[in-house]
Structure 1
């Protein structure tokens, strides 16, 4: 984003500078300059700030070979309006606010952030040198560089705490895709006024119970976490030689290989892997797979990265959610009905498998149907059913399926040459008759979406007892469908009494129920949450965490 000097409101900046100077009780130190006695240190720092910002502007934000500013234009505008006076120090003294900011950056992991993203090492080093070395305290270049790094770090924190680091996607419900410059200025002014960086930045955090709980238990997680260097294994691999070299190194780190065991052949590798698999309840094949590599990569540092991703997912939500809504979390296999931040009830669910994912979406439940009829999607017909029908047309009777033409007339499947049908030519629909053996079960909840998915009961209810419930073709199967139906009609017990609904189902009657207040539904993907006093991690069934961590946090070294 670009900020021109002329776009910064002069009055706002002027007030900010006056306030900054008036609220500090520091007198300008009378420093005897060892080079130019006639010039004060503060004047020389101003000169260095001007030089530093000009260099950054002319070099794409770079102030040296290893440091690049994220908010060059905004920082330059503020320093320009401030006549290039430092913001975080006075002469050879630090302001209390700089201590507050450095402390916040040092504890950034409490917020799912990485201190290295905010010049922490450089700032801590400069501040330590300036405090310990009397001669260094006269170094105007160090003071100027530290001031610029502090300013850039603060603005970076504003952005990352407010918006996160993940890109906005099709289900992002935020309207502030670009943060306005006034937000940066007002947050800085707030920090100065209250003398606390933490208080100012915490006001930017998401206001969700789930976020608050996860961040609270993140601090508990960090007190127990063991962050040690390790070799991350990228899998599937492109270069087998590089991968197995990394795997060998990882096995050494886990003490699964003796120190002198190097350049193992394939048989030796398989023997070590098989031994590990036996000891950790994996199938002892001697071969690597996704599950095994995930286990090797499941260090505390990788867990922290997943926490960081999930905290940022909350920042893709709007500032507030409706008072009442349905929250579907795919990795936890749960549906919750929320009313005024209270869970009314919760249900186990079955979601789409990795190859037939349940899509992330936002919608509203508008109606539901008792004893629905299922029209088989063409994707399922061509991928799964057509080959079986060609082998034996009796498959249709077994699955309670009927064939209908474009006029909705039932067609005898034995009169059709199924080998002539394909994706380009299939003038029929396959419909499953309503009943207890219907794949949709006895009820279907409809909500508008472009994926043609919905929530429903199922005729294989024993699957709700499985731990891995990524089993559907994309729709969401709900165990507690009766509770959801009752909740939808709760405000109209005269017209739609719960007993009426139960009677229709008992008589196997098809009814379309609508007219109730539409209930918002959010289908999302959160792989960890605060539960029972700790953070519970769920399987990354769609490998979204892996993708995001490798793309955005791959180079984050252990801190």
Structure 2
């Protein structure tokens, strides 16, 4: 009996502790509070705003629509500054900025953001209610809800437009990462006072040419495909009559084939089969797929993607531009890994554009920021140990002559060249390998004629290649991680063009013709950025690239897409 009483008391105590320690989420604020006298409305709205701020505090930062606020402290500061009075309405009449803010929310995808993150559904319903129901104009709860959600939407959108949604990472070039509460409040107060919500928000966007081109492409893409839906095609199929009918219908839905007035056979197929191939090719060209006119698995998968999914791919890349600083250096090198391109930018102009080859999905080229310091003519290639152990050592153990075939030298820890036939290769492996494999310079070298060095922890660099035919490939994720540059000679000439005292005109060409091994230190180091853009703007349209390393999937998740 005594034990039962003790256990009972303990259980009672635990229940009480749970009630106080765990707490209960505060019930949602009143959804409807009708004020008969319109003169009293603003004061009741004020009380309801206070209730909503308390509810957010007790509800883990979530609002009534389960969307988290940007920062509760910023909202509290804003309403304290305004005497907790409504800022987006007065006596049942919406402020001038309400429609502008709602438009920005509805069209958020055009700046790479999702409307749902800014209370789109609940704000739209509330304002439609005001327009359709005169009695709703006296609903203090409705106006308080609109007020707090509008304020949070502005602060959140302002922050996301400038800094992006995902947290800063190791390559984010911005020194700051968020607006203070004071800055956000001042910004919102000024926008409401000047009645320029849209102007205040768009002034916070990046001004980089790449971002603006992407934004222009998004607008054109949205205009072309907004409201369009299409049928999906089977991913596993045979080239049957049934599949051709489905494919034709899909191409018609996308505007790639116009079948009006064209002759068809008994199965509904176009009698001119070349027209179907042209339609496939037209789609492939628009979505940057090798345009062979054949509806292979990759093309079918792309045909099946809804327009909204392509827009999210563009949005993810707008996010990447927001991680760059407000202004870039006057001169810099930009490598776009999935786009297989390198550009040299000078005063906003592209001075050199080159195809590149990047790392395979297994041997990724890293995203990074660095500074180019020098380049070397006729460089040795010190083979990374990862390649030695994965690829070369097994081949050497089978045939030591492999080293001569690949133009490789064996170097000991003293820097001396060692005869490979004096080494017992069977005893070497990851745990014991006291040598370096070095590929001798010359046209047989994997680095080609030139290597461009920049500081980084990954031991990667830009270089020429002895297999230049690979630049013709559309898929160019083929290296061990370094970046092979097609226009390596133009890049070298650009880097020394102003240093005419140490490097007279045509000196590089002379060194190359004499096959001189030479290191050229740059008088002015140039920033280099290796980035990952799977969508770009080009001539008013969107240019998509494959997500070769799956980085879009990761960033989509971070952004809540």
Fold match (TM-score > 0.5): yes
Note closer, same or farther for the CA distance 1:295–1:484 as it changes in structure 2 (3 Å cut).
Answer: same
Q: Quick one: distance in 2 between partners of 1:325 and 1:67? A: 40
The alignment of Structure 1 onto Structure 2 pairs a total of residues equal to 485
In the other structure, the counterpart of 2:448 is 441
Q: Quick one: distance in 2 between partners of 1:519 and 1:293? A: 43
Q: CA deviation at 1:551?
A: 4.8
Q: Quick one: distance in 2 between partners of 1:75 and 1:546? A: 32
SS of aligned partner of 2:523: coil
Q: Quick one: distance in 2 between partners of 1:374 and 1:195? A: 62
Q: Does 1:410 align with 2:412?
A: no
Q: Quick one: distance in 1 between partners of 2:139 and 2:202? A: 34
Q: State how 1:184-333 maps to structure 2 within 5 Å.
A: 184-226=184-226, 291=298, 294-295=301-302, 298-333=305-340
In the other structure, the counterpart of 2:88 is 88
Q: CA deviation at 1:182?
A: 2.8
Q: Does 1:162 align with 2:162?
A: yes
In the other structure, the counterpart of 2:261 is none
Q: Does 1:540 align with 2:547?
A: yes
Q: State how 1:507-546 maps to structure 2 within 5 Å.
A: 507-546=514-553
Q: Does 1:469 align with 2:476?
A: yes
Q: CA deviation at 1:79?
A: 1.5
Q: Quick one: distance in 2 between partners of 1:227 and 1:334? A: 33
Q: CA deviation at 1:80?
A: 2.6
In the other structure, the counterpart of 2:559 is 552
Q: Is the 8 A contact 1:187 1:201 kept in 2?
A: no
Point out where structure 2 has 5 or more consecutive residues left out of the alignment.
Answer: 1-32, 236-241, 248-278, 282-288, 290-295
Q: State how 1:322-401 maps to structure 2 within 5 Å.
A: 322-401=329-408
Q: Quick one: distance in 1 between partners of 2:540 and 2:67? A: 40
Note closer, same or farther for the CA distance 1:78–1:551 as it changes in structure 2 (3 Å cut).
Answer: closer
In the other structure, the counterpart of 2:257 is none
Note closer, same or farther for the CA distance 1:475–1:384 as it changes in structure 2 (3 Å cut).
Answer: same
Q: Quick one: distance in 2 between partners of 1:85 and 1:329? A: 49
Note closer, same or farther for the CA distance 1:322–1:74 as it changes in structure 2 (3 Å cut).
Answer: same
Q: Per-residue displacement from partner, 1:362-405 (whole Å, max 9, x unpaired)?
A: 11111111111111110110111011111111110100001111
Note closer, same or farther for the CA distance 1:35–1:512 as it changes in structure 2 (3 Å cut).
Answer: closer
Q: Quick one: distance in 2 between partners of 1:336 and 1:68? A: 40
Q: Is the 8 A contact 2:77 2:181 kept in 1?
A: no
Greater CA drift, 64-73 or 107-116: 64-73
Note closer, same or farther for the CA distance 1:73–1:159 as it changes in structure 2 (3 Å cut).
Answer: same
In the other structure, the counterpart of 2:64 is 64
In the other structure, the counterpart of 1:236 is none
Q: Quick one: distance in 1 between partners of 2:466 and 2:166? A: 39
Q: Quick one: distance in 2 between partners of 1:161 and 1:65? A: 22
SS of aligned partner of 1:449: coil
Q: Per-residue displacement from partner, 1:334-359 (whole Å, max 9, x unpaired)?
A: 11111110011111111111111111
Q: CA deviation at 1:501?
A: 1.4
Point out where structure 1 has 5 or more consecutive residues left out of the alignment.
Answer: 1-32, 233-243, 245-250, 257-278, 283-288, 555-559
Q: Quick one: distance in 1 between partners of 2:45 and 2:297? A: 55
In the other structure, the counterpart of 1:127 is 127
Q: Is the 8 A contact 1:443 1:456 kept in 2?
A: yes
Note closer, same or farther for the CA distance 1:212–1:124 as it changes in structure 2 (3 Å cut).
Answer: same
Q: CA deviation at 1:291?
A: 4.7
Q: Is the 8 A contact 2:214 2:537 kept in 1?
A: yes
Q: Is the 8 A contact 2:330 2:348 kept in 1?
A: yes
In the other structure, the counterpart of 1:268 is none
Note closer, same or farther for the CA distance 1:231–1:412 as it changes in structure 2 (3 Å cut).
Answer: farther
In the other structure, the counterpart of 1:45 is 45
RMSD over aligned CA atoms reads 3.1
Note closer, same or farther for the CA distance 1:59–1:174 as it changes in structure 2 (3 Å cut).
Answer: same
Q: Quick one: distance in 2 between partners of 1:203 and 1:65? A: 28
Q: Per-residue displacement from partner, 1:508-552 (whole Å, max 9, x unpaired)?
A: 110111142111111111111111331110111111113322453
Q: Quick one: distance in 2 between partners of 1:211 and 1:158? A: 17
Q: Per-residue displacement from partner, 1:205-224 (whole Å, max 9, x unpaired)?
A: 11201111111221111111
Q: Quick one: distance in 2 between partners of 1:119 and 1:372? A: 58
In the other structure, the counterpart of 1:9 is none
Q: Is the 8 A contact 1:331 1:525 kept in 2?
A: yes
Note closer, same or farther for the CA distance 1:551–1:127 as it changes in structure 2 (3 Å cut).
Answer: same
Note closer, same or farther for the CA distance 1:37–1:447 as it changes in structure 2 (3 Å cut).
Answer: closer
Q: Is the 8 A contact 1:325 1:520 kept in 2?
A: yes
Q: Is the 8 A contact 1:227 1:301 kept in 2?
A: no
